Amino acid sequence: MAHLGYGRVSTDGQSLAAQVAELKAAGCTEIFQEKISGAKSDRKQLARLIARLGAGDVLVVTRLDRLARSTRDLLNMLGALADKGAGFQITAGYLGRHDHAARPADADGPGRPRRVRARIDQKSHRRRQGARQSSRG
């Protein structure tokens, strides 16, 4: 089981040093780095990393926005990792604090991404309801 890190910055003027140090501290044996906008779909180093992942390996990022630009992107990525039997870990941010154990992305069953999406939808619904109530008052 290998921990493979992915670090990305958007411009040449930015440094990957902090991400690389954090990924090393998280136990990554290989770190794939690139300087490219997250909006680009042809991220060659990310494609290399995903091709390299095997069952039981873990893809590690420092923050969620280094990997995905949207919820749809993230869910597609998690689905691809689950298909390979690989796991996913974030070193910083909400999921990083609550998901310390690196485990396969489908450890909660194949419906896990749907449950994540359902929680996001519930929060959005609550926000919309609150906005409607405050506009009536």
Taking alpha carbons only, the member of 87, 90, 122 closest to residue 106 is 87
Structure tokens at 21: 């140090």
Taking alpha carbons only, the member of 24, 48, 21, 23 closest to residue 36 is 48
CB atoms within 10 A of CB 126: 10
Q: Decide if 49 contacts 59 (C-beta within 8 A).
A: yes
Taking alpha carbons only, the member of 12, 63, 54, 47 closest to residue 29 is 54
Edge-to-edge strand ranges of the sheet holding 87-90: 30-35, 3-9, 58-61, 87-90
Is 15 assigned a catalytic role? Answer: no
**Catalytic residue numbers?**
10
